Structure 1
Amino acid sequence: MKKHLLLTIVCMLSALSLNAQALDSLEEKLTTAEGDEKVNTLNELFIIYNQLNPAKALEYAKSAMELATEIEYLKGKAAALNNMGIIYKNQGIYDKALEYYIESLRISDEINDREGLAATMNNIGTVYSLKGIYDKALIYFIESYEAFKELKDDQKLIGTLNNIGNAYSDKGREDKALEYFSEAINLSQSLGQLNSSSDPLNNIGNIYFYREEYGQALEYYNKSLEVEISNKNLLGQALAYSNLGSAYLELGDMKMAEEHQNKAREIAVKIHANPILKLIYQGLSNIYYRKGDYKKAYDFRLLYDEIKDNIQNEEGNRRLAQLEIAFELQQKEKELELLKQEREIQDLQVENSRIVILLGLMGTIMFIGAGFVIFKLRKIKRL
């Protein structure tokens, strides 16, 4: 059972640092903004509304992408594509999300936007982790981590550390996962932001859950919920309530388990968070099975199977493989072009060296010839 929330990094501002006043300011700014500034404002509004109202967030992302395409603002278009990917990822439409992410990655690479590349690589890693392809997810997470480290962006390093920990946790390497979660918490503390992100808290709770230390798991899940409520993050709240419900179930408290899963279900349905909804349906099925209400248990199991099938798409996997291969080939072509240019420079240097040597030889020959002529003239005079 996947019980963590993979942190998604976007290219603009952190939504956790923006308040209602900032939201009003951005919406007012949108009424007069034009060109690049309008695209940036739309992308910033997406970040806030992604937590508050995903449907509205989608509208802003689409508007940003359309305008950026129209005015040929590549950085803004890459950010908008990345944001579109986030929407589809949160809804469990992973293959569609990856299509947007890969196109965003291609543009960021084209314009040498290191921050955009790092953010999108992290987001691609989240999707592969959710699809259960953990080794591939780790590759993207580690590349993202190295890029943010090079950029000295400690805030976003917290996110990648958290995601690397998640990937190791899913691979069954809990001790390794705890190392990364602890590093994320320590970095948060050093930045004075321990209470600004629930992810490391939630994921340490997961470790205790897997170890069957449910009391400790509850403690961390509750801390995570407090942060998500404070940040008004509906996606995080849905996950926290579901995790609490699972922990209460294992402790034998059916009433609290059912209550928390239903709270999670209400939020997840509202924001179309299908991956979390899948966990909730599974949790509710388990609750009713233990209560002996097999009819309800069966009904929720059917809902779980239905949403699970909707999330998976084999045809999309083939399409994504083609997109990734195309991007990798493009990268190889760029590398070959650079090597070609280097060889041309080296060949030019060699050619220049040859010319210098030739001129030197010609100069020497002319000097010797001139000396020989002078010698002959002097000899003639003596005669």
Structure 2
Amino acid sequence: MDFCKSILSYLKKTQIIRVYLIYCLMILFYGANLEVLANQSKIDSLHQKLQTSKADTNKVWILRDLAFYHLEENLDSTLFYSQKGYVLARNLNFISGQIWNLYQKALALEFGDDFNEAMSTYRFALDLAEESNDLLSIAKLKNAIGAAYYYNSDYALATLAYQEAMEISDEIHYTEGLSHALNNLGIIYSNKKNYSKALEAYERSLSLKLASADTIGIINSNYNIGLLYAYLQEYDKSLNAFRQAKKLNLYTKTPRDQAVIQIGEGVALYHLGTLEEAYELLDKGISMLKSDKSHEKIAALAYLGILKIKKGEKATGLQDLLQANAMVELTGRLELQKQVTKELASAYELLGQTDQAVHYWKIYDHVKDSINSEQRMWAFEEMQAKYELIEKEKLINKQKAALYAQTKSKFTIISALVMLFLLTIFLGYRIYFLKVKSHQKDFKPEFIHQSIDLLDFKLVNSHLPTPLTSREWDVVQLVELGKSNCEIAATLFVSENTVKTHLKNIFIKVEAQSRTDLIHKLRAMSLILH
């Protein structure tokens, strides 16, 4: 004891304990703010670089980065810096800089719940990428658009965007984009209860992540596969996938991921009958989750609740189940609601409350019927989408055939004219050298080209605060010809909603109130500038 006191006294004298305690206090009080401080440090560094940078193209990227680092804290700052970066890039005719500042602007608009304006900005960036044939940017933007549609609960358009991103990424060997698209398609297929397609997408994504040694990606893919097998009630495979994810996650600093993986593992163990270990994992997982809106927390509370009741902790177990039930009703997730109501009904049976058990078994049956109806609806929508795609392809092929026939006809006429012209020269040559006097008729084909286009695209566009894209200009020209939205959509092979979006953006850029006002203003502007 005296020896320990002497050691402690020595340590105090050498300041080791004091320094250690101060260090612990710093971690305690400032640890949560380290990320914020690091973020602010990066912002300060970027501002300094912006002031000292001599290359304008470099300033474009600095402004893009400033927009990125402000995204989580201040959306107005993100909008400010991204717009400033875009304008500078546009003045430099720096297409890539325009695209990625617009991307940051679209993200800020999306996070600010201005979905329509966000999609318009994404589309503008996509038009620039397509015009410059920048396939990598197109793939990245398609993935971003897919994510925006997904979070807006438009699964059909999200699926289409992800499929396009997947095809382009595969074509250019962009592994990260391909894996991202596959993983998100898997989530959509899983939500639609199309588990075979979801599993196929997840496993292909996992193979890409393994090939590129992407640890975080491997963890996420294994987690999604674990969830999928849980939906399929193949809990042994589910447990294996979660444990693969857990094994890798030990080397990462992602507490939330650790929590949801433990919950997934706990659910699998519950269904496999390993109740003690399931209880421990579920309890630990819940304590690590911060968000009360987490779907994983709902599942964990439901299964932990039934386990508590089985262990005799009736009051707290029922409280957990009722909390899970209250939370799940706000999510609209039928599959999750089915799990919760099933465990709640079973809990009331164990508690001997028959009326409540019957009540929740009825809700359980109703939710099952709703899931089946939802699956039939999605199957019908998928079939309808395929039919519309086939019809669209038929229309495109028909128009291509008509265009080919028209081109062939023009080629035949031109060929005939050329032959006639050559024949005329040949005859003239013969007549001249054989000194045959005859009346000759000159053949002088007249080519008449009348331009009805009163608008100068480049001239007008250079004087607009926000220039029109080439696709928006196509819409303007068709409006000038008196075409309806339906006719414009058919001409450009787009939907009427896309035409309406283009017109909305055009009206804003030109400050026009109607189609007539739009054409009047553009013509007036063109005449003045000429």
Residue from 186, 191, 209 that aligns with 1:148: 209
Per the TM alignment, residue 200 of structure 1 is displaced from its structure 2 partner at its CA by: 1.9
Aligned identity (percent) is 17
The residue number in structure 2 matching 1:311 is 374
The residue number in structure 1 matching 2:101 is 37
The residue number in structure 2 matching 1:109 is 167
Say whether residues 1:210 and 2:275 are aligned partners: no
The residue number in structure 1 matching 2:443 is none
Residue from 219, 237, 244 that aligns with 2:297: 237
The residue number in structure 2 matching 1:335 is none
How has the CA–CA distance of structure 1 residues 135 and 239 changed in structure 2, closer, same or farther, with 3 Å as cutoff? same
CA distance in 2: counterparts of 1:87 and 1:223, whole angstroms? 32
Per the TM alignment, residue 122 of structure 1 is displaced from its structure 2 partner at its CA by: 1.4
CA distance in 1: counterparts of 2:176 and 2:260, whole angstroms? 22
Q: Deviations over 1:171-215 (max 9, x none)?
A: 565444433322211211123446544232112102211122223
Kept after mapping to 1: 8 A contact 2:341/2:361? no
Residue from 323, 327, 336 that aligns with 1:263: 323
- For structure 1, the residue ranges without an aligned partner over 5 or more in a row are 1-16, 50-55, 89-95, 327-383
Letter in 1 for 2:324: A
- Structure 1 or 2, whichever has the larger Rg, is 2
Residue from 278, 281, 287 that aligns with 1:226: 287
Say whether residues 1:85 and 2:150 are aligned partners: yes
CA distance in 2: counterparts of 1:322 and 1:253, whole angstroms? 55
Per the TM alignment, residue 144 of structure 1 is displaced from its structure 2 partner at its CA by: 0.6
Query: What TM-score do the two structures reach when normalised by structure 2?
Result: 0.47
Per the TM alignment, residue 276 of structure 1 is displaced from its structure 2 partner at its CA by: 2.3
Kept after mapping to 2: 8 A contact 1:141/1:160? yes
Letter in 1 for 2:120: E
Letter in 1 for 2:318: E
Q: Which has the higher contact order (CA 8 A, sep 6+)?
A: 1
The residue number in structure 1 matching 2:121 is 67
Q: Deviations over 1:205-231 (max 9, x none)?
A: 0221112222321211122222321x6
The residue number in structure 2 matching 1:282 is 342
Per the TM alignment, residue 98 of structure 1 is displaced from its structure 2 partner at its CA by: 5.2
Letter in 1 for 2:147: N
CA distance in 2: counterparts of 1:322 and 1:197, whole angstroms? 43
Letter in 2 for 1:33: S
Q: Deviations over 1:36-69 (max 9, x none)?
A: 43533554786xx7xxxxxx7xx35554323211
Letter in 1 for 2:184: N
The residue number in structure 2 matching 1:248 is 308
Kept after mapping to 2: 8 A contact 1:43/1:61? no
Matches within 5 A, 1:1-383: 23-26=72-75, 28-34=77-83, 36-40=100-104, 42-43=106-107, 59=113, 63-72=117-126, 74=138, 75-86=140-151, 88=153, 96-97=154-155, 99-110=157-168, 112=172, 113-170=174-231, 173-193=234-254, 196-229=257-290, 234-251=294-311, 253-290=313-350, 291-294=353-356, 296-297=359-360, 300-301=363-364, 304-305=367-368, 307-309=370-372, 311-312=374-375, 313=377, 314-319=379-384
CA distance in 1: counterparts of 2:315 and 2:387, whole angstroms? 49
CA distance in 2: counterparts of 1:119 and 1:141, whole angstroms? 10
The residue number in structure 2 matching 1:4 is none
What is the number of equivalent residue pairs in this alignment? 292
CA distance in 1: counterparts of 2:35 and 2:160, whole angstroms? 28
How has the CA–CA distance of structure 1 residues 118 and 173 changed in structure 2, closer, same or farther, with 3 Å as cutoff? same
RMSD of Structure 2 on Structure 1 (CA): 3.8
CA distance in 1: counterparts of 2:213 and 2:275, whole angstroms? 37
Kept after mapping to 2: 8 A contact 1:85/1:100? yes
CA distance in 1: counterparts of 2:370 and 2:218, whole angstroms? 33
- For structure 2, the residue ranges without an aligned partner over 5 or more in a row are 1-33, 40-70, 87-99, 130-137, 392-530
